[in-house]
Amino acid sequence: MIERRRGLTVFSHAVLWCGLAVVVLPVYLAFVASTHPLDAVLTAPIPVLPGDMFWENYTAVLTGDVANFGSAPVVLMLANSLVMALGIAVGKIAISVISAYAIVYFKFPLRTLFFWLIFVTLMLPVEVRIIPTFEVAANLALLNTYQGLILPLIASATATFLFRQFFLTIPDQMLEAARIDGAGPIRFFIDIVLPLSRTNIAALFVILFIYGWNQYLWPLLVTTDQDMGTIVVGISNLIQVAEAEPRWPYVMATTILALIPPVVVIVLMQRQFVRGLVEQEK
Amino acid sequence: MLKRVHFKHPVLPYLLVAPQLAVTLIFFIWPAAQALWQSMLVQDAFGLGTQFVWFQNYLELWGDPQYLNSIKVTAIFTISVTALGIGSGLFLATMADRVIRFASGYRTLLITPYAVAPAVAGVLWLFLFNPTVGILAYLMQGMGIAWNPLVNGEDAMIMVIIAAAWKQVSYNFVFFLAGLQSIPRSLIEAAAIDGAGPFRRFWTVIFPLLSPTTFFLMVVNLVYAFFETFATIHATTSGGPSNATNIMVYKVYKDGFVGLDLGSSAAQSVVLMFIVIALTVVQFRYVERRVEYGT
């Protein structure tokens, strides 16, 4: 603090409270709507305090016990999302950490070419190759499978860079010492490099879990079977129900359930998250 | 790039890069090459045969008012999302950097929207802006503003911009806050001693020092607004009403997956590919160089 300015401090707090309101209100109102019966939501003015339908609405969507709702039980979709998010996070970290290790610690022909091939994936998000990627997945019989949801998304240039960057900071003496003690490349990787990378892995895990959970376009393409659908995609199906007014309490209960897991992860692992995010800039 | 002390092994390094490389080749490079190839083909009406037509699909895009509209919509959308997201992120970060009380509480809450999926963010705002049930629509109607994003294109655009930027503010906030905290206190103190007030210090000292962060965030936000907002659009407006929010990424999906016009969709994909490549090159060439206080 450079100088005391009461006015400015009050102003800062006011701005931050406005920011918080904008952040919290949409989620709060969604929660409120999810605890009321449909007719209460449909009559103006809209309720601003939670109602008493919490258990009814949430158990109804979780078990899929809603007539003509056009969706699989939310429990099933949550499980699919969880498998996908974990699969993507773990898969990306695993294949990136080993390829970064190869690129930093080995001298072999084509090393630079491989590095550039991995780099190129940064420039080819799913959105720019929608149909051919779908065709590849279809030809490999990956539609409506967990492998299909996960595999095409686990290449990661950013994660590879992050590990590469980190490995370059590990002092050479480590390897020299390990060698003198008779450690080979695999031993060195498991006993030295992986334990040193723990914090990086944790940081990356938070970001990638959220990334995986929030995937939209790819699950939309590869899952046609409702039982394989993910929760984030499932919500949009609920809204587009045959021109009728969506059943908002159920839609909002599903929405709340969809945003809880990543929000919990980010709140609990805030420090790792911020670290992982800011590291990417480097 | 390579460690001075390193290993040599005839097969191990290949095994280590193999999984990453396999995924890259099968799911990234091969489909991208396919998109390039398909963009030069035209299918006949019955889908029985294809014909190689060079750049005809691209030329047709240039004459297609729908496509030109989509470019315009994308430009308005991406610029607004980027400006709104960066502006609010910077403003909030500057304020959060000043306060001492509740500092960590503010931070935690302001970061959370990052965890909300773009599609979910879209649905939250769709609910608030919905003309029959939305509280914001209700308030606006009370103030005599005609508001209906389901039929009015401009309203729909405003809604998706807010939904898309809302989520991205957290990301910008994290980076600006980290940037602000890395500015040496002594610089700001020196400016204060020279008699510069908080406002002046911000524009002449702090903001220029943040320029690398701002530039980095501009590129990242543009990429976000171009591509990841597909989900926001798909879950809320589906490109409507009457194509008012039909951004380029959404059009690729709609023309190819729903309309089954593969050639045209592939050509649009390739155009987008060039946009990402350009943005990535800009990011790596200029961001690395750290645009700092250019006088």
Q: How confident is the model at residue B164 (pLDDT cuts 50, 70, 90)?
A: very high
The Cα of B215 is separated from the nearest Cα of chain A by a number of Å equal to: 11
Cα A188 from Cα A98, distance rounded (Å): 12
> Which is more confidently placed, B161 or A249?
B161
**Domain range summary for chain B, segments of one domain joined by +:** 53-289
Q: Does A155 touch chain B (CB under 8 A)?
A: yes
- Condensed to tens digits (0 to 9), the pLDDT of residues A140-199 reads 988 889 999 999 999 888 889 889 888 988 888 888 898 899 888 899 999 999 999 998
Q: Does A243 touch chain B (CB under 8 A)?
A: no
Of A160, A164, A166, residue with least CA distance to A120: A160
Please indicate, yes or no, if residue A79 is contained in any of the structural domains: yes
Domain count, chain A: 1
Instruction: Check: CB of residue B245 under 8 Å from CB of residue B77.
Output: yes
Cα B163 from Cα B165, distance rounded (Å): 6
Q: Which amino acid is at B44?
A: D
Whole-number percent of chain A with pLDDT over 90: 27
Please indicate, yes or no, if residue A80 is contained in any of the structural domains: yes
Between the CA of residue B193 and those of A3, A23, B199, what are the distances in Å? 10, 37, 14
Say whether B102 sits in a helix, a strand or coil: coil
Say whether A266 sits in a helix, a strand or coil: helix
- Condensed to tens digits (0 to 9), the pLDDT of residues A6-54 reads 888 889 899 999 999 999 999 999 898 888 887 777 776 778 788 787 8
- Give Rg (Cα) of chain A: 24
pLDDT at B294: 37
The Cα of A65 is separated from the nearest Cα of chain B by a number of Å equal to: 22
CATH number of A186's domain? 1.10.3720.10
Phi, psi of B51 (to 5 degrees): -130, 140
Which residues of chain A does B198 touch, with a Cβ-Cβ cutoff of 8 Å?
A: 2, 5, 8
Cα A22 from Cα A18, distance rounded (Å): 6
Per the rule left: phi > 0, alpha: psi between -120 and 50, beta: everything else, B242 is left
Residues 56-115 on A with a CB inside 8 Å of B are 94-96, 98-99, 101-108, 111, 114-115
Section B141-148 average pLDDT? 83
- Condensed to tens digits (0 to 9), the pLDDT of residues A102-123 reads 999 988 888 888 988 888 888 8
- Condensed to tens digits (0 to 9), the pLDDT of residues B101-129 reads 888 888 888 988 999 999 999 999 998 88
Section B62-91 average pLDDT? 92
Residue A178 neighbours by CB distance under 10 Å: 19
- Condensed to tens digits (0 to 9), the pLDDT of residues B201-244 reads 889 889 998 988 898 889 889 989 988 899 999 988 888 788 88
Between the CA of residue A124 and those of A16, A58, B24, B287, what are the distances in Å? 37, 39, 10, 20
Instruction: Check: CB of residue A57 under 8 Å from CB of residue A253.
Output: yes
Task: Say if the Cβ atoms of A129 and B192 lie within 8 Å.
Answer: no
pLDDT at B295: 33
Per the rule left: phi > 0, alpha: psi between -120 and 50, beta: everything else, B50 is beta
Six-digit token string for B273:
């590919």
Task: Say if the Cβ atoms of A2 and B188 lie within 8 Å.
Answer: yes
Between the CA of residue B20 and those of A93, A129, A157, A206, what are the distances in Å? 10, 19, 9, 21
Task: Say if the Cβ atoms of B256 and A5 lie within 8 Å.
Answer: no
- Condensed to tens digits (0 to 9), the pLDDT of residues B271-284 reads 888 888 888 888 77
- Condensed to tens digits (0 to 9), the pLDDT of residues B11-63 reads 898 999 999 999 999 998 898 888 888 888 777 666 667 777 788 788 878 88
Q: How confident is the model at residue B286 (pLDDT cuts 50, 70, 90)?
A: low
Cis peptide before B118 (omega within 30 of 0): no
Phi, psi of B63 (to 5 degrees): -95, 0
Which residues of chain A does B219 touch, with a Cβ-Cβ cutoff of 8 Å?
A: none
Please indicate, yes or no, if residue A7 is contained in any of the structural domains: no
Give the A:B interface size as CB pairs under 8 Å.
322
Cα B147 from Cα B166, distance rounded (Å): 20
B53-289: CATH number = 1.10.3720.10
Domain range for A92 is: 74-279
Please indicate, yes or no, if residue A91 is contained in any of the structural domains: yes
Quickly tell me which residue has 């009321």 as its tokens. Answer: A36
Please indicate, yes or no, if residue A130 is contained in any of the structural domains: yes
Quickly tell me which residue has 């090393």 as its tokens. Answer: A111
Which residues of chain A does B280 touch, with a Cβ-Cβ cutoff of 8 Å?
A: 122-123
Of A100, A155, A92, A86, residue with least CA distance to A124: A155
Of B164, B118, A81, B95, residue with least CA distance to B156: B164
pLDDT at B19: 92
ipTM of the complex: 0.88
A24 to chain B: nearest residue by CA?
A: B109
